[in-house]
């Protein structure tokens, strides 16, 4: 399996519900970032969590990081139809204590929020 | 966040030809990267294009196929050479925000959607 795998691959919910997406990775990381992509367009940066952080919030987004399990989750609360998109996690791996800014992406979760 | 633009936004090209994609950033950045996203897939790093050094390519990508220029701290180009239908993808540039310190927060351009016929 690859660095930065995500589950579920697809998630379908109703407006107002919460959406949770999970990401697993294999190597030691400097940070983990979450992105949103609408219909094959550019990636929108959502949030970055450092390896020494366990939880981070930004508006309706909550990200957790468990480095012992090499996993992260993205929670979107009170979802809206406009949240419909693909969501990707990306890890910035450490190599000998140095980060090179090279991101490894998960396969992504396709979120559909029904009005 | 950094404002990143790419040209062209999309193109349809004939096999055997080459296309040069431009990436322009509104601030000076040291670290810049090029990614490819094949249809229905995730993103894969092509190369690192740091100013002042030769581009470094990831496994599976070679300079003859994807030559990169990085003439200054705000601009880079990626050329897709001798194209085949397998090169049909979205190509994205990204930069590490210089104000993010050791966090290496990374922002992406809007992408160039390439179709090779």
- Lowest mean pLDDT: which of A34-38, A39-43, B85-89? A39-43
pLDDT band at A2 (very low <50, low <70, confident <90, very high): very low
pLDDT of residue A94: 72
CA angle B17, B11, B113 (to 5 degrees): 115
Is the pLDDT reported for residue A26 higher than 70? Answer: yes
> Does A97 reach chain B within 8 Å, measured CB to CB?
no
**B-chain residue closest to A36, CA distance:** B108
pLDDT band at A110 (very low <50, low <70, confident <90, very high): very high
Q: How far apart are CA B61 and CA B39, in angstroms?
A: 18
Q: Which residue has the higher pLDDT, A97 or B22?
A: B22
Percent of chain A surpassing pLDDT 90: 76
- The alpha carbon of residue A50 is apart from the nearest alpha carbon of chain B, in Å, by 7
- Lowest mean pLDDT: which of A100-109, B11-20, B36-45, B80-89? A100-109
Q: Give the mean pLDDT of chain B.
A: 93
pLDDT of residue A98: 64
Q: In what order do the strands lie in the sheet with A55-58?
A: A5-7, A19-24, A71-76, A61-66, A55-58
Across the range A44-52, mean pLDDT stands at 94
- Lowest mean pLDDT: which of A85-94, A105-114, B66-75? A85-94
Q: How far apart are CA A59 and CA A77, in angstroms?
A: 9
Q: Give the mean pLDDT of chain A.
A: 91
- C-beta atoms surrounding B88 within 10 Å: 17
pLDDT digits (tens, 9 = 90+) for B2-14: 799 999 999 999 9
Q: Does the beta-carbon distance from B106 to A45 stay under 8 Å?
A: yes
pLDDT of residue A82: 96
Q: Does the beta-carbon distance from A105 to B108 stay under 8 Å?
A: no
> Does B75 reach chain A within 8 Å, measured CB to CB?
no
pLDDT band at A1 (very low <50, low <70, confident <90, very high): very low
Q: Which of A102, A106, A110 to mutate to test the interface with B (most CBs of B within 10 A)?
A: A102
Look at residue A44 and give its three-state secondary structure: strand
Compare CB distances from A101 to B37, B104, B113 and report the shortest one's residue: B104
Nearest alpha carbon to residue A54 among A46, A45, A63, A43: A63
Across the range A41-58, mean pLDDT stands at 94
Residues forming beta bridges with residue A14, ordered by sequence position = A114
pLDDT band at B104 (very low <50, low <70, confident <90, very high): confident
């Amino acid at each position: 399996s690859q660095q930065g795998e995500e589950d579920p691959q697809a998630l379908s919910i109703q407006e107002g519900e919460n959406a949770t997406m999970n990401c697993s990775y294999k190597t030691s990381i400097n940070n983990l970032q979450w992105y949103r992509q609408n219909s094959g367009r550019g990636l929108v940066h959502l949030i970055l969590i450092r390896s020494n952080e366990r939880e981070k919030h930004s508006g309706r987004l909550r990200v957790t990081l468990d480095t012992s399990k090499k996993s992260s989750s993205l929670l979107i609360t009170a979802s809206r139809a406009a949240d419909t998109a693909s969501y990707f996690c990306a890890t910035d791996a450490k190599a000998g204590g140095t980060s090179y800014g090279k991101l490894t992406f998960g396969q992504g979760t396709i979120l559909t929020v029904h009005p | 966040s950094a404002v990143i633009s790419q040209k062209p936004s999309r193109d349809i090209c004939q096999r055997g030809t080459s296309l040069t994609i431009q990436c322009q950033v509104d601030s000076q950045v040291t670290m810049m990267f090029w990614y490819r996203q094949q249809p229905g897939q995730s993103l894969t790093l092509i190369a690192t294009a740091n100013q002042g050094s030769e581009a470094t390519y990831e496994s599976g990508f070679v300079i003859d196929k994807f030559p990169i220029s990085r003439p200054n701290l705000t601009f880079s180009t990626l050329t897709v050479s001798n194209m085949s239908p397998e090169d049909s993808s979205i190509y994205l540039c990204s930069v590490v925000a210089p104000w993010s310190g050791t966090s290496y927060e990374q922002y992406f351009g809007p992408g160039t959607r390439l179709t090779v016929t």
